[in-house]
Amino acid sequence: MLQSIRNQFVVPLSVTIFVAVGFVTVVAYYFSYQSARQITEQRLAAVASVAVAANYPLTESVLEQMRGLSSMEIAIVQKDDGVILSKTNGIRDSEFNFDRLAPKKQSEDSVFLHDFFWNDQRWDVLIRPMGVIEQSKPRRIVVLSKHENQESLVSQALYLPIATGSVAAIAVGALATFFAARISGRIRRLSDHVSRIDLGTSQPLVMQGPQDEIAFLTDSVNRMTSQLRASQQTLATNQRSQLINQFASGMAHQLRNTLTGARLAVQTHQQENENDKSEDLELAVEQLRLAEQSIRSLLQVRTGLEHAASAPQTVEAITNQLIRLVQLKASHRNHEIRSEVEDGVKSMMLDDGQSVLGAILNLALNGLEAMVEPGCLCIDVALVKSPEQKNFCQFVISDSGAGPAAEIESTMMESFSTTKPEGIGIGLPMALSIANRYGGSLTWKREAGRTRFFFAVPILQLAIRGEPTL
């Protein structure tokens, strides 16, 4: 059975408050009762003192006047036999029996009797000795006050603390309920958010309120949600990668055999027709060779073998091959190709020239496909220095297309990230891996309506004024 956090907070607090109010009420009643009892005794003693100090006869008319002022019944009785000498009209001889007070009549001090029952009522009684007049017998004065007067004093004394405590208890209970509802509401929203995580439909929760433990817990849950979503994406990518890996492994062997056969067929045709020096055939052989090399690299990754680097090549040779390979596709799409290579960088040597060519070829082909309308693909090559003052050759491939889609801008360097319906999303990751393999870099930016990719790799040999140096 679900127990509400609000009730777990409010119920114990409310019980504690009401127990405290009850305890305070009992204590207040005790002290109020003692105070009322003391006030009653003081009033009885004051009336008796007035009578004892009187220098005139205490006749019934005098006692009646004192009764009117004090609302108390008064009787003057003989000390030994209890005979009533004078009294107020509220005391009748037949009803008042002083013998009931006999145990106290021999005392020479004032005696207070509380809760004395007489005439179907409860009374507070004071018995006090009086002086002897004209050789008469010793007298006592008996002053009676209704006990309800004392109870009235107790009630008056209790009213304020009880009322104050009750109002305070209600106010504190209401405030506790309000704040408990706020806290439980925040926890309930967090609970609903955690429940939606299991369905995979949750978004980061923005928790309103102070920066307390609940807010910190919400931040932790949001981080957990982000990590879980990233883990799910990674798992999906790994599953897709495994599936593609299995599929590509079989396809790669078949394609490699097919491409090898096609390349041999074209080369055989060239050997049998020595007079046929068509550039198209040379280009076809080059494309087949590059495709075969890419498949070989893929198979090496699949089997865990180390990459077999190709021979170093000059920057000029790599750039010329790149232009030859993309020229046909650019012409078919009515695109223009512009190339500018710094003079000082042309003769520089780059390690594994064919891998570098494959990487920048992928960037150039992506640029051609990105331009829907006829545009210009620019290939610029320059010498740059790293922060450590090392020499790098930087290829800048730029196009006038619309640029990468916003949803993949942050992930397009990751495997299988693509918006092309027929794309796989491994071109840019492969180019990045080639750059990283040789300590280079691959970055991009969008500026002035063009998308620019910067592919940089270290230089093996630097030529200055025509004299190569290591």
pLDDT in tens, the chain (470 residues): 556 666 776 778 778 888 888 888 888 888 888 888 888 889 888 988 888 888 888 888 888 888 888 888 888 887 766 677 788 877 765 555 655 554 444 456 778 887 777 777 788 888 888 876 655 667 888 888 888 888 888 888 777 777 887 888 888 878 878 877 777 777 777 777 777 776 666 677 776 667 677 777 777 777 787 787 778 778 877 777 677 666 656 665 556 556 566 656 666 666 666 665 566 666 666 666 666 666 666 555 555 455 567 789 999 999 998 998 888 888 888 999 999 999 889 999 999 888 899 899 989 988 998 898 999 999 999 999 988 888 999 999 999 988 888 887 777 878 666 766 666 667 788 889 889 998 999 999 998 889 999 999 999 854 444 444 33
CATH number of 378's domain: 3.30.565.10
242 is a domain residue: yes
426 is a domain residue: yes
Contact call for residues 17 and 169 (beta carbons, < 8 A): yes
| Residue 369 neighbours by CB under 8 Å, 6+ apart | 420
Do 457 and 324 share a structural domain?
yes
174 is a domain residue: no
347 is a domain residue: yes
Do 237 and 110 share a structural domain?
no
Q: What gap in Å lies between CA 327 and CA 341, rounded to an integer?
A: 17
Do 300 and 313 share a structural domain?
no
Nearest-10 Cα torsion for 218, 220, 226, 227: -160
User: Quick one: which of 412, 306, 429, 421 has its CA closest to 369?
Assistant: 421
Q: What gap in Å lies between CA 399 and CA 404, rounded to an integer?
A: 11
Alpha carbon of 13 to those of 74, 170, 191: distances in Å?
Answer: 53, 12, 24
Do 458 and 314 share a structural domain?
yes
DSSP class of residue 347 equals: T
Token pair for 180 = 């408990």
Do 384 and 269 share a structural domain?
no
235 is a domain residue: yes
pTM of the model: 0.44
Phi and psi torsions of 441, nearest 5°: -155, 160
Do 22 and 137 share a structural domain?
yes
Pairing outcome for strands 336-341 and 376-385: parallel
- For the chain, the residue count is 470
Domain boundary among 308, 339, 357: 308
CATH number of 102's domain: 3.30.450.20
315 is a domain residue: yes
Domain that holds residue 234: 203-308
Phi and psi torsions of 361, nearest 5°: -65, -40
Token pair for 320 = 């010329």
Do 266 and 213 share a structural domain?
yes
Do 335 and 261 share a structural domain?
no
SS3 content of the chain, % helix, strand, coil (to 5): 55, 20, 25
Three-class SS of residue 83?
A: coil
Token pair for 93 = 């001889």
Domain boundary among 308, 343, 377: 308
Do 329 and 284 share a structural domain?
no
Do 328 and 245 share a structural domain?
no
| Residue 458 neighbours by CB under 8 Å, 6+ apart | 351, 390, 391, 392, 393, 438, 439, 440
Domain boundary among 308, 323, 358: 308
327 is a domain residue: yes
Do 352 and 247 share a structural domain?
no
172 is a domain residue: no
Number of structural domains in the chain: 3
Do 421 and 320 share a structural domain?
yes
B/e letters for 258-283, b = 16+ CB within 10 Å, e = fewer, are ebeebbeeeeeeeeeeeeeeeeeeee
